[in-house]
Structure 1
Amino acid sequence: MARSAASDRDDARSDEARSDDARPSEEPGGASPPALAVEGVSKRFRDGEESVLAVDDVGLTVERGSVVGLLGPNGAGKTTLIKCALGIVLPDAGSVRVFGTDVGDGRRAAYADVDAMLEGARNDYWRLTVRENLRYFATIAGVDPDSVRGRHDRLLDRLELTEKADTPVRELSRGMKQKVSLASVLAGGAELVFLDEPTLGLDVESSRTLRRELRRLAREEGLTVVLSSHDMDVVEAVCDRVVMMANGRIVADDTVAALRSGTERDAVRVVSADIDDAVVATLEERFDVRAVETDRDGRDHGGAGSTAVEVAAAGDELYDLMDALREAGVTVEDVETVRPDLEDVFVDRTGTEGDANPRGRSP
């Protein structure tokens, strides 16, 4: 559980909760149950005219060993859904099952192997050193910290924290504290972890380190991750699957490749020194011109004074575009296809632009 609910987490990680009889090991038919199954969950806050339906009849399944990204603009319901899945917020309707155990029937058993790092929460004890935090959170997970010292050493090494292992967390930078929080979440060997904005405050290299370690843990150790982030690069690089939310409901759920191929945002980028304002105006009358970039000294586009125009065109429209350029006396220097990225899909599916913070910039 998240550090903000440490007492619940202590219960969830007790030896009693780890007993073989406490959790169903198989679904009907012999298959192992998914790591997380959310069915028909709804949550409303406040009453009357001020009421807000934060989560609206959401269903979601996360298979074991997968990394699932959860995206949505501010107010989409992501955090509320995560808190419902963690038992921090009780839903008004629906059910949550963790490794086959219904949270309502067996809270301690359900959360025995679950941990979380939540944005805005104090996820570590800052007076303790980095290593002391790992030992502490392993202990409250019901694990002898001496028995997993090797695991802790590997986490410190892979997250580039070894040199700071005996440094109090309060003396570390924001980015280093974020990495310590992740290491603490993984210290007790949780099988399902929820990470809310895990790269917040990290520099580029630290973010790459975190992505690499998450992929390794999922691939080699079967860790299941639900990752909520505004950093599209991280989601695209790490996640097997992406779930997008808007207005409390799921509006997309698929692999990154499938989501990108399903959007109508294919375009072509044409570069030429012959493209001037008049040519651009002509193109805008006939086509969907998405961007115009002028490189007056030619360093970026390969020719003095070249201009790049991005136009939504596919199929017959591409031929029409080439005809229009030829009629305007434009000699094409370069042309390339522009494929939609995850940000484009996000805008299409959620109807929002700007809230996604696509490249990890501080909101």
Structure 2
Amino acid sequence: METIIEVKELHKKYKKRKTKEIVKAVDGVSFEVYRGEILGLLGPNGAGKTTTIKSICGLLKPNGGSVHINGYDSDKQRLKALNYISAVLEGNRNLYWRLTARENLEYFAGNRGVGRKEVKQKVEDLLILFNLKEKENELVSSLSRGMQQKLAIAVALLADTEVILLDEPTLGLDVETSYEVRELLKRIVKEQGKTIIISTHDMPVVQELCERTVIINNGKVVADEKVENLIKLFESRAYCFTVSDELTQQQITAIKSHFPIYEISDQQIEITIERENDLYIMMDILKSEQTNIEKIDRTSVDFEQVFMKLIKEGQENDRALASS
């Protein structure tokens, strides 16, 4: 697959104002974005995801590493690199609320050096594509959040860049509008061959739209894999034990010490195994108190569970390293 964005060994440090403590927001982040894909860029709050996004968009200069967009270094060849990417950051903030929907499209086309006559048909097409034609002469401030979000994406498309970065494109939208936005994004990739990077906390969006995901935690990449492969991996490692007896405190302590990823509720114990003999260890823990096992099931997972498990594993590993 052809690479259109390469993020290599990205580093960014901040100094806290009050304590002057140095904080590593991004610590050696590396990944690639392939032409024509929808990539999910994920991470919990404070993980370094926003710093990475701003570095890709040229809004932030990293302390180390590089970002190449279509072969151009975004630091040394900034203008050439940024000609290939447009972004919708923090929802719909790239709109002027005192302009109408049509005026916003015309204004931002002018910002890109495109004349009003030249862009007239494209504005018309985008208004129709995003179901905004009936609202074209209404002020953005009077539009619903869903319409504002669709208009923000239309403005990003107007630049006709190869890459579009969307920060939380479905945040605050109702179910119907969220579905409409997802369908539009699928259509844009299929018909126009765009490359889309989606930063979101909406895991169903990732599972439905993204073929691949990059997950960042504590300033590092903890996963770079196809969504389908990650789900299969955790399905093969996740087991649910249904028991007829209540667990003793000793058993609960043993489960917690042996299994970093676990969930205990009522008479069900869900574990994620990492080694072949983990399953037998679990059986021994239950056998130690003669706990009756009613059934053992492989647990089906969705991407939200995968995401939480990866983050939890990363936190457990960080704690282990800190204590060693």
Deviations 1:113-165 (A, max 9, x none): 31111116721011111111112212222334444444433433333322211
Amino acid in structure 1 at the alignment position of 2:164: V
- Measured at CA, do residues 233 and 269 of structure 1 come closer, stay the same or move farther in structure 2, by a change above 3 Å? farther
Task: After TM superposition, give the deviation of residue 233 of structure 1 in Å.
Answer: 0.7
Normalised by the size of structure 2, how large is the TM-score? 0.78
Give the root-mean-square deviation of aligned CA atoms.
3.3
Q: Secondary structure at the match of 2:246?
A: helix
Matched, 1:350 2:322: no
* Worse-matched range after superposition: 226-235 or 38-47: 38-47
Residue 319 of structure 2 corresponds to none
Q: Secondary structure at the match of 2:222?
A: strand
Q: Secondary structure at the match of 1:262?
A: helix
- Measured at CA, do residues 343 and 102 of structure 1 come closer, stay the same or move farther in structure 2, by a change above 3 Å? same
For structure 2, list consecutive stretches of 5 or more residues without a partner in the other structure.
315-324
Q: Secondary structure at the match of 2:50?
A: helix
Q: Distance in 2 between matches of 1:237 and 1:243?
A: 15
Residue 266 of structure 1 corresponds to 238
Check the 8 A contact 1:265/1:339 in 2, yes or no: no
- Measured at CA, do residues 347 and 133 of structure 1 come closer, stay the same or move farther in structure 2, by a change above 3 Å? same
Amino acid in structure 2 at the alignment position of 1:230: H
Q: Distance in 2 between matches of 1:313 and 1:70?
A: 24
Matched, 1:39 2:11: no
The alignment of Structure 1 onto Structure 2 pairs a total of residues equal to 294
Check the 8 A contact 1:232/1:342 in 2, yes or no: yes
Q: Distance in 1 between matches of 2:53 and 2:118?
A: 31
Normalised by the size of structure 1, how large is the TM-score? 0.71
Matched, 1:143 2:114: yes
Q: Distance in 2 between matches of 1:64 and 1:95?
A: 19
Matches within 5 A, 1:228-267: 228-263=199-234, 265-267=237-239
Matches within 5 A, 1:254-333: 254-263=225-234, 265-268=237-240, 279-281=244-246, 290=263, 309=268, 311-312=270-271
Q: Distance in 1 between matches of 2:202 and 2:45?
A: 13
- Measured at CA, do residues 67 and 171 of structure 1 come closer, stay the same or move farther in structure 2, by a change above 3 Å? same
Q: Distance in 1 between matches of 2:297 and 2:122?
A: 47
Residue 182 of structure 2 corresponds to 211
For structure 1, list consecutive stretches of 5 or more residues without a partner in the other structure.
1-30, 294-307, 354-363
Check the 8 A contact 1:138/1:144 in 2, yes or no: yes
- Measured at CA, do residues 185 and 268 of structure 1 come closer, stay the same or move farther in structure 2, by a change above 3 Å? same
- Measured at CA, do residues 233 and 117 of structure 1 come closer, stay the same or move farther in structure 2, by a change above 3 Å? same
Q: Distance in 2 between matches of 1:157 and 1:87?
A: 31
Q: Distance in 1 between matches of 2:246 and 2:298?
A: 22
Amino acid in structure 1 at the alignment position of 2:12: K
Matched, 1:68 2:39: yes
Q: Secondary structure at the match of 1:35?
A: strand
Residue 320 of structure 2 corresponds to none
Q: Distance in 2 between matches of 1:102 and 1:63?
A: 17
- Within the candidate set 102, 106, 110, 2:73 is matched to 102
Identity %: 38
Task: After TM superposition, give the deviation of residue 265 of structure 1 in Å.
Answer: 4.8
Residue 165 of structure 2 corresponds to 194
Q: Secondary structure at the match of 1:123?
A: coil
Q: Distance in 1 between matches of 2:225 and 2:121?
A: 37
Amino acid in structure 2 at the alignment position of 1:208: Y
Q: Distance in 2 between matches of 1:258 and 1:116?
A: 28
